[in-house]
Amino acid sequence: MRYYIIAGEKSGDIHGGNLIQALKKEDPQADIRCWGGECMEKAGGKLVVHYCNLAFMGFVLNLRKIFKYFHRCKKDLLAYQPDVLILIDYGGFNMWMARFAKQHHIKTFYYISPKVWAWNQSRAYKVKAYVDRMFTILPFEKDFYKKYDYEVDFVGNPLVDEVNRHTINPNFLVENKLEGKPVIALLPGSRLQEVKKILPVMLSIVPTFQDYHFAVAAVKNLPAELYKAAERTPGVQVIYEQTYDLLAHAYAAVVTSGTATLETALFEVPQVVGYITGKINYLLSRLFIKLNYVSLVNIVAGKEVVKELLQHDFNTNDLTEELKQLTENVASRSLQIKNYQKIKQMIGNDHASEKTAKLMVKYLKNS
C-alpha cells in the first residue's frame, strides 16, 4: 500500500521514523512518501520536505510561506494518490491537510492527536469530521473524544519506546567533564524563542548551587550563538544532542514545558518546570486554554506532580527555592518519583509504534 506521512517537528520525525519501521514490518510492500526529517528518511520514507522548513515563528508574519508549503503539499498528495494520509501531531498545518484530504476522498489517519483538549475544545468536531481514525498517546484523550461521540484508539506513548531502547553511554560523565559532583540538567527547549527567553533564567541560578555541575541540553538545529552565554558560565557544560544520556545521569532538572517534562519523568529525575512566552500569547492562553496545568506530567496525572513556574514566576529567586526543595528535601524528591511511577502505569507499556502500525494496516485492509 501507499502511505503519505506528514510530521512538522523534530519529535514528530522521531515518532514518524519508528512508525515507518513498524509499517514496513506489517506491510513489506509499503511505499512511503513523507514530510519529516532524517529519522523518517532513514526508516525508508521518501522525504519531500524537511521539517526545518516548517518551523514558522508567528503565523501572520509567515502567512505567505505557510500557504506556499500548503499548496505544495496538496499538489504532491494528489499526484501520489496514497491509500492513506497519516498525520503526526503538528495540529494547524495537519488539520488543514485533513480537511483537504477529506474533500478529495483520501482516507486520513491521525497519530498523536492535536491538542484540541487544551483550548477551543469544539475543534474535536472538526477532527471527527475530517479524520477517519485517530490514534492517541495520552490516556485521557480517549475519554475526551468520547464526549464528542468519536471512538479513538489509545496506543500507549511512543516516548516509552524511545526511553526503553536508548543505550546509556557509560562514559557520558567523563566525556563531558561532569564527574565528581551531582548533575543538574537544564532543558531550555528546542525552539529559538523558548531558548532565548528561558535559558538566561536557568543560568542565573548556577552561582547558588556550587556543589553541582550544570549541563545544558542543546540542539544542533538552533544557532550555536544561543548557547554562548552558557558556555561562558563557570560550572556549566553545553552538551549537544545527548538529552537522554544527560537525564540518565541527572540528579535534578529544570525543564521547559513540553514533551521534555514527560521524558524527564520517564527517567525519574525530579524537575521544576518553567515557561515564558510573549505577553500577548500569555494573555490569549489564559483566556482560551482550558487546562489547570501546562506540563504533560501534571496534565496526565490530573494534579500537581511537578512545580510549574510560568511567566514572571519563572525567576531566579523562585526557581532557586523550588530547586532547593528537590536537591535538599528527601521527602519532596521521593514524592515526585513515586508520582512518576504512577504516571508510567497510566501511559502504558512500550511498543506504541508497533501497535499503531498493526491497527493502521488492519483498518486499511478491512476498508
Model pLDDT, residue 319 = 98
Per-residue pLDDT at 59 exceeds 80:
no
pLDDT at 270: 98
Closest of 96, 147, 92 to residue 124, by C-alpha: 147
Distance CA 238, CA 346 (A): 33
pLDDT of residue 294: 87
Q: What is the pLDDT, as a whole number, of residue 215?
A: 98
Q: At what angle do helices 330-347 and 259-266 cross, to 10 degrees?
A: 110
**105 — pLDDT class (breaks 50, 70, 90):** very high
For the cut 70, the answer to whether the pLDDT of residue 274 exceeds it is yes
What's the pLDDT score for residue 62? 66
pLDDT at 61 over 60: no
The confidence score (pLDDT) of residue 272 equals 98
- What's the Cα-to-Cα distance from 272 to each of 55, 219, 333, 340, rounded to whole Å? 27, 20, 11, 13
- For the chain, what is the mean pLDDT? 92
pLDDT tens digits, 20-55: 999 999 999 999 999 999 999 999 999 999 998 876
Q: Using an 8 Å Cβ cutoff, are 188 and 256 in contact?
A: yes
Residue 313's CB: how many other CB atoms inside 10 A?
15
Report the length, in residues, of the chain.
367
Considering just the CA atoms, what is the radius of gyration of the chain in Å? 21
Q: Give the predicted TM-score (pTM) of the model.
A: 0.88
Domains along the chain?
A: 2-156+349-366 (3.40.50.2000), 165-347 (3.40.50.2000)
The reported pLDDT for the residue numbered 190 is 85
Which conformational region is residue 6 in: left (phi greater than 0), alpha (psi within -120 to 50 degrees), or beta? beta
Which residues lie closer than 8 Å to 312 by C-beta, 6 or more apart?
none
Contacts of 223 (CB under 8 A, 6+ apart): 192
Whether 173 shows a pLDDT value over 70: the answer reads yes
Confidence of residue 290 (pLDDT cuts 50, 70, 90): low
The pLDDT-based confidence of 10 (bands split at 50, 70, 90) is confident
Per-residue pLDDT at 287: 55
Q: Are 233 and 205 in contact (CB under 8 A)?
A: no
List pLDDT tens digits, range 219-241: 998 899 999 999 999 999 999 99
Q: Is residue 165 scored above 80 in pLDDT?
A: yes
